[in-house]
Amino acid sequence: MSDVPVLRLGSIGPDFEAETTKGPIKFSEFAAGSWVVLFSHPDDFTPVCTTELGEVARLQPEFEKRGVKVIGLSANDIASHDKWISDINEVGNVDVQFPIIGDKDRSVATAYGMLDALDKSNVDAKGLPFTVRTVFVFDPKRIIRLTLSYPASTGRQFDEIIRVIDSLQLGDKHRITTPVNWKKGEPVIIHPSVTNEEAKTLFPDFKTVKPYLRFTSEEQGKTIV
């Protein structure tokens, strides 16, 4: 059995020091008081990864609007990342500004459980596991609020990460949850812990579909809480 702790929703993200394309960081200092997306890709100079990192660069203003710092990671060194960034910028017509960790010794990947030796579709020429397409979203207390692992063959949908961040940030401010396929601005669900009496004050326009399924508008929660 490995003695690396399994990270779950609610775990505090382990601290680490690492080299990045923007200089050395201590993760606890980088993440302090901010939402953070830490995402790993299998390898530099690979096709799906090139499209993914270009998309993250394109979405950078959307992350910034939400107070989210983004940081990438793979088990390549900084020289490799720096060279590859030119390709990402060219292919995606973007300007990658977020840092990418050079986790050559896989120490951060190990601490975050980003390696999967069982997945034979994601190993290097020596049979060593590449980092899985992993995503961690941390809140400003460095608590893990979302985890994702995607197969090497499938590029991620980063709009979905932003959608979840919108839901989490709204749910942290107001006693609401968000329904299937919800997008920012659409009706939200009143949290089951809110009684109908409380809901009358908090969300006067609320609509009851079932006693356990009550909708309100996002705007109303904003003005009241």
Q: Name the site residues for ligand BEZ (rule: CB under 6 A).
A: 42-43, 46-49, 122, 130, 152
Cα–Cα dist 168/145, whole Å:
8
Q: Which is nearer to ligand BEZ, 140 or 151 (CB)?
A: 151
Query: DSSP assignment, residue 80?
Result: H
Closer to ligand BEZ by CB, 96 or 152: give it. Answer: 152
Between residues 2 and 153, which has the closer beta carbon with respect to ligand BEZ? 153
Residue 176 host element (H or E): strand 176-177
Min dist CB 162 to ligand BEZ, Å, is 21
In the three-class reduction of DSSP (H, G, I as helix; E, B as strand; rest coil), residue 79 is classed as: helix
Annotated active-site positions, please?
49
Who's near 157: CB < 8 A, 6+ residues apart?
Answer: none
Q: Are 31 and 138 spatial neighbours (Cβ–Cβ below 8 Å)?
A: yes
31 vs 53, beta carbon nearer ligand BEZ: 53
Question: In 3D, which of 93, 149, 94 has the Cα closest to residue 121?
Answer: 149
In the complex, least distance from residue 194 CB atom to ligand BEZ, rounded to whole angstroms? 44
At closest approach, how far in Å is the CB of 31 from ligand BEZ? Answer: 26
DSSP bridge partners of 215: 189, 207
In whole angstroms, the minimum distance from the beta carbon of 142 to ligand BEZ comes to 28
Least separation, in Å, of the C-beta of 50 and ligand BEZ? 7
How many other CB atoms sit within 10 Å of the CB of residue 12?
Answer: 12
Of 4, 2, 20, 28, the closest CA to residue 143 belongs to 28
Q: What residues does 69 pair with on adjacent strands?
A: 36
**58: phi then psi, degrees, rounded to nearest 5:** -65, -35
* Maximum separation of any 2 CA atoms in the chain, in Å: 63
